[in-house]
Amino acid sequence: MTLSSLELTGDAPLLARENARLEMLSPEDRLAFAVETYGDELLLTSSFGAGSAVLLHLWSRFAKHLPVVFLDTGFLFDETHAYKDLLAAKLGLHVRVLSPEQPRDEFIVEFGADIQRKDPDFCCARNKVAPLAPVLKNAAAWVSGLRRDQSATRKNTPILLPTSDTDGNRYVKVHPLATMTSVEVAEYMQLYELPEHPLRAKRYLSIGCWPCTSPVADGEDERAGRWAGRGKTECGLHSRALASIK
Ligand code: SF4
């Protein structure tokens, strides 16, 4: 069974059937299915943010032989780097770090220290989307930790989502945690004694680059502190795929 992006895109009943079947399975079984189906062509990216530990723990149970790709934009919190090192050691993960071609300081000199406020889409394209592109080109499927209860833009996230990048490379996005709630995430972390991101205690509930992340008030979406006030909700890694299911 391959279930390539092309097959799933061209066969709507097959895609609906697979998604209906996976919807009934646990996150564990969904990830096990993806590992069995896509083998070495399965990619996991992680921001090592506030909600990353559950998927990383699942990965350590079902796909430890495969690397975890971490995008170091140059604008991450020191606490995120420390959390990455802590989780990687605890779970025995092999982390592959990707960095933008242009170092942070040169990028700032060329485009200005307020580039994240003036043009966050450009900054994300250069520092997040571009470094991942060569890796994504060789992947048949890409696992990420999107959950439906994180924000309005993620509320319709399916388990399998065939998509393509701007260069036309096709892959299947796999979202094993799509149905998990924030309460279930907390229960899972407690069950397996997973450490919290150090900034979570300061109400950073979704954590990316420091110029674009702020704490969240009571009652707000988990992702309300990302690019707050800038009319942007996704970094570009997932927005193309999510736009197709709105
Ligand atoms: S999240 Fe902010 S700092 Fe990070 S790449 Fe995007 S715009 Fe740049």
Q: Which atom of ligand 1 is nearest to the CA of 209?
A: 4
What is the distance in A from the centroid of ligand 1 to the CA of 59? Answer: 26
124 assigned to active site: no
pLDDT at 229: 72
Q: Given the residues 123, 209, 212, 235, select the one marked as catalytic.
A: 235
pLDDT at 246: 59
pLDDT at 242: 60
What is the distance in A from the centroid of ligand 1 to the CA of 176? Answer: 26
Closest C-alpha among 239, 232, 30, 236 to residue 154: 239
CATH code: domain of residue 73: 3.40.50.620
What is the distance in A from the centroid of ligand 1 to the CA of 130? Answer: 12
pLDDT tens-digit map of 98-156: 999 999 999 999 999 999 989 999 999 999 999 999 999 999 999 999 999 988 888 99
- Determine if the pTM surpasses 0.95: no
Distance between CA atoms of 73 and 63, rounded to whole angstroms? 25
The amino acid sitting at 7 is E
Q: In the sheet where 68-71 sits, what is the strand order?
A: 95-98, 68-71, 42-45, 141-143, 170-174, 160-164
Number of domains forming the structure of the chain: 1
pLDDT tens-digit map of 69-85: 999 999 999 999 999 99
- Rounded average pLDDT over 37-48: 95
pLDDT at 232 over 70: no
Task: State the pLDDT confidence band at 235, using cuts at 50, 70 and 90.
Answer: low
Provide the mean pLDDT of the chain: 90
Q: Provide DSSP, the chain.
A: ----HHHHHH-HHHHHHHHHHHHTS-HHHHHHHHHHHHGGGEEEE----TT-HHHHHHHHHH-TTS-EEEE--S-B-HHHHHHHHHHHHHHT--EEEE--SS-HHHHHHHH-TTHHHH-HHHHHIIIIIHHHHHHHHT-SEEE----GGG-GGGTT--SEEEEE-TT--EEEEE-TTTT--HHHHHHHHHHTTPPPPTTGGGT--S--BGGGB----TTS-TTTTBSTTTT----STTHHHHHTT-
Distance between CA atoms of 171 and 217, rounded to whole angstroms? 36
Min mean pLDDT across 85-89, 113-117, 201-205 is at 201-205
pLDDT at 236: 65
pLDDT at 71: 96
Range of the domain at 50: 5-243
Distance between CA atoms of 151 and 148, rounded to whole angstroms? 7
- Rounded average pLDDT over 38-46: 95
